[in-house]
Structure formats: structure tokens, C-alpha cells
Amino acid sequence: MRAIKVSKHGDASVLAFSSVEPQPVPGDGQALVRIQAAGVNFVDIYHRRGTYPLTLPFIPGLEAAGVVEAVGSGVTMVRSGDRVAYTGHIGSYAEFTAIAADRLIRLPENISFIEGAAFPLQGMTAHYLIHEFRTPRPGDTVLIHAAAGGVGLLLVQWAKRLGARVIGTVSTPEKAAAARAAGADHVIEYTVADFAAETKRITGGRGADLILDGVAKATFPGDLECVAVRGHIVVFGSASGPADPIVPNMLGPRSFSLSGGSLGNFIATREELELRSGAVLAAVREGWLKLRVDQVFPLAEAAKAQRLLESRGSIGKIVLQVTA
């Protein structure tokens, strides 16, 4: 089968478009999926760099959509021909993968494979971030970093749906326009303004009740400055590097709380996976949650796709077309 193979850690040039043998075979409890499209995410870059090391060589990618080709023994929840999507299983930059059948999400007929590869990781991430720590209410202010990214645009829409005032940070005027189009009430270009000072100005000195931060190192110090009394900061990624450590007693004067988040911990059971994926797909079906796919690259151009993501040049999701 054709796949992207990583034999050493490094920059995007280590992503080699190759013929890989043998083709996977589904074992007990597994399904063989012919992948149609794969999502491109920052975690793929961390794996490639060795920031989150995997055993070499490996096929990158944690998210995809496709069609079930065959199933192993004991599998009853899916069958050959079913349209499915998934996240959290390494090896999606390939034509086939064998995956535990209970990790598959049924893909409705009105959702394309491109959309199917765009929603699982980022859509379910947005769902848990909004619902598991401090669910926004009317009157709350939510600060969302990287508001024009794949997760950011979904978070903006979800927070607005719940009635919050949304402040988004972005790096360019084009991204500011995208965040506003998604519903952000205020957009701060952090390259030209101090987002912490602006957040306090917008809120009359109160600060943000909920801060959702997938950037970390570059933004976390400002988060500490502009979180409201009894507010909540969630750090769920590290696009700029890990945040610097803090002393726990720093939380005391404003009685705010700090959490970390990783999607795998919030879809650990079949019930949670179905709840979150079902909520995202329902929101897309109802029309108030829009998936924005920025660019689609052929599998052979995975290096180009990752370079675009690393450069912060994309708005929304990047997807690889695996099978035409």
C-alpha cells in the first residue's frame, strides 16, 4: 500500500511517500479501513519531530475517514461497506489501517470523507473543552487563543451558541476576519496588541471567565494576567512550546483554577466517544457548527501540508486526500 513513512525524526523533509508492506490485516475485534482522507494535526508534527516520540519507523497521522473493507472475528458493530471516521489511532497517512472496531465513528451519508477527516479530533476537542471544565453561560467572557485554527473556529461557534461573549486572538488580519465570521465579538491581533491588556480593557478590568489555550508558552503568562476572579484556564496544546511552570499558590489571590486537557482522556470509553462524536455531527447537521477545510493536499504532498500548518499559514483544517 502507499503511505507516508517516517524513518528518522526531523523537519518535514523526513516524510517519505513510499510503498509499505505488508498491508494491514484485521485481527480479533478490529476492522480494516480503506482510508479516503486523513486529517493533519499539530500532534503529527510533534511525532515527526520526536517531541512526542514514537518507535521508528512509523506511519504518522491520528485521524481519518474511509470505508470498512473487512472485519476480524467478534466484530458486530461495523461491517464491510460502512462509512466511518476515527481519531486516536496512529497510521492514517496511508491507504489502509487496521483499527479496533469500537473506536470507529459511523459517518452519515451527508458528511463527505473530507469533512469526516476534519471533524473527529478537533470537533470532539472543542466539545470537551466547552463542556467539561466551565460550560459558558450568557454573561461569561471566553478567551480563545488561535481562534482561526481548526479547534479555535469550532470553539468560537460553540461558545457563542451558549451565549458567551467571545474574545479571540489571531496573528493576521485575514485570520481576524475568519474569527469574526465564526462569531467572535472581539478579535485581538496578538502581533500588534497585548492580548492580556486588551482582554482586561474589553471586560472593564474583570478578565476572562474561561480561557482556552492551545498555544501555551507564548500565551500562558498573559492568561495569568487576564483570567477573572474564580475564572478557569485550560491548557490543551503547546503550539509554541510547553508553558513555563508556576507555583500553585499563584492561583490563590484570584481563586482561579487551571486544568490540562487531552482528547484521549475524554473519549476513553465507547459511551464518551459516541456522545461527543454524536454531538458534533448533530451540530453540523443542524447547520450552526461549520467545518472549515482550508486546503486539501494529495497524500504524496504530506510534507507541504505539514509545512503550511507549522507556518501558521492555514485557517481551519488541512486534510490529505488519500484515495480519490
pLDDT tens-digit readout, 184-217 = 999 999 989 999 999 999 999 999 999 999 999 9
Looking at the structure, tell me whether residues 115 and 127 fall in a common domain. no
**Neighbour-count burial for 182-211, b at 16+ CB within 10 Å, e otherwise:** bbbbbbbebeeeebbebbbebbeeebbbbb
Looking at the structure, tell me whether residues 143 and 105 fall in a common domain. no
Looking at the structure, tell me whether residues 235 and 104 fall in a common domain. no
Beta strands in the chain (DSSP E): 2-6, 15-19, 30-40, 63-71, 83-87, 96-100, 105-106, 141-144, 165-170, 186-189, 208-213, 227-235, 257-260, 293-298, 317-321
Q: Dig out the grid coordinates for 155 from the structure.
A: 470553539
Looking at the structure, tell me whether residues 13 and 79 fall in a common domain. yes
Is 87 part of any domain? Answer: yes
Q: Give the pLDDT score at 239.
A: 87
- Domain end marker among 249, 264, 279: 264
Alpha-carbon distance of 66 to 12, in angstroms, equals 25
The number of folded domains in the chain is: 2
Assign 313 a pLDDT band (cuts: 50, 70, 90).
confident
Looking at the structure, tell me whether residues 79 and 170 fall in a common domain. no
User: Which of 93, 105, 122 minimizes the C-alpha distance to 314?
Assistant: 122
Q: Give the pLDDT score at 323.
A: 87
Q: CA gyration radius for the chain?
A: 20
Is 11 part of any domain? Answer: yes
Q: Give the pLDDT score at 275.
A: 98
Is 271 part of any domain? Answer: no
Is 236 part of any domain? Answer: yes
Query: Phi/psi of residue 172, each to 5°?
Result: -140, 160
Q: Give the pLDDT score at 192.
A: 93
Q: Is the pLDDT of residue 76 over 90?
A: yes
Cα–Cα distances in angstroms (integers) from residue 99 to residues 25, 28, 34, 68, 93, in the given order: 10, 10, 11, 10, 14
Q: Is the peptide bond before 22 cis (omega within 30 degrees of 0)?
A: yes
Percent of residues, the chain, with pLDDT higher than 70: 100
Q: What is the dihedral of CA 88, 123, 3, 25, to 10 degrees?
A: 50
Q: Give the pLDDT score at 274.
A: 98
Q: Is the pLDDT of residue 324 over 80?
A: no
Q: Between 311 and 40, whose confidence is greater?
A: 40
Assign 146 a pLDDT band (cuts: 50, 70, 90).
very high
Q: Is the pLDDT of residue 151 over 80?
A: yes
248 close to 238: Cβ distance less than 8 angstroms? no
Question: Residue 157 in 3-state DSSP?
Answer: helix
CA dihedral over 6, 11, 213, 116, signed as positive or negative: negative
Q: What are the respective helix, strand and coil percentages of the chain, to the nearest 5?
A: 35, 30, 40
Looking at the structure, tell me whether residues 144 and 176 fall in a common domain. yes
Question: Residue 153 in 3-state DSSP?
Answer: helix
Is 273 part of any domain? Answer: no
Is 139 part of any domain? Answer: yes
Q: Give the pLDDT score at 312.
A: 82
| H/E segment holding residue 280 | helix 270-286
Q: Is the pLDDT of residue 220 over 90?
A: yes
Q: Give the pLDDT score at 264.
A: 95
Q: Give the pLDDT score at 154.
A: 98
Is 251 part of any domain? Answer: yes
Looking at the structure, tell me whether residues 67 and 172 fall in a common domain. no
Looking at the structure, tell me whether residues 252 and 297 fall in a common domain. no
Q: Give the pLDDT score at 314.
A: 87
Q: What is the mean pLDDT of residues 48-53?
A: 92
Question: Residue 198 in 3-state DSSP?
Answer: helix
Question: Residue 67 in 3-state DSSP?
Answer: strand
Looking at the structure, tell me whether residues 127 and 244 fall in a common domain. yes
- CATH number for the domain that contains residue 63: 3.90.180.10
Looking at the structure, tell me whether residues 135 and 260 fall in a common domain. yes
Is 159 part of any domain? Answer: yes
Alpha-carbon distance of 8 to 295, in angstroms, equals 27
Looking at the structure, tell me whether residues 76 and 161 fall in a common domain. no
The predicted-structure confidence for 289-301, as pLDDT tens digits, reads as follows 999 999 999 999 9
Looking at the structure, tell me whether residues 111 and 23 fall in a common domain. yes
- CATH number for the domain that contains residue 177: 3.40.50.720
Q: Is the pLDDT of residue 73 over 90?
A: yes
Average pLDDT, the chain: 96
Residue range of the domain that includes 251: 123-264
- 519531530: which residue's cell? 49
Contacts of residue 262, defined as CB under 8 A and 6 or more positions apart, other chains included, come to 236
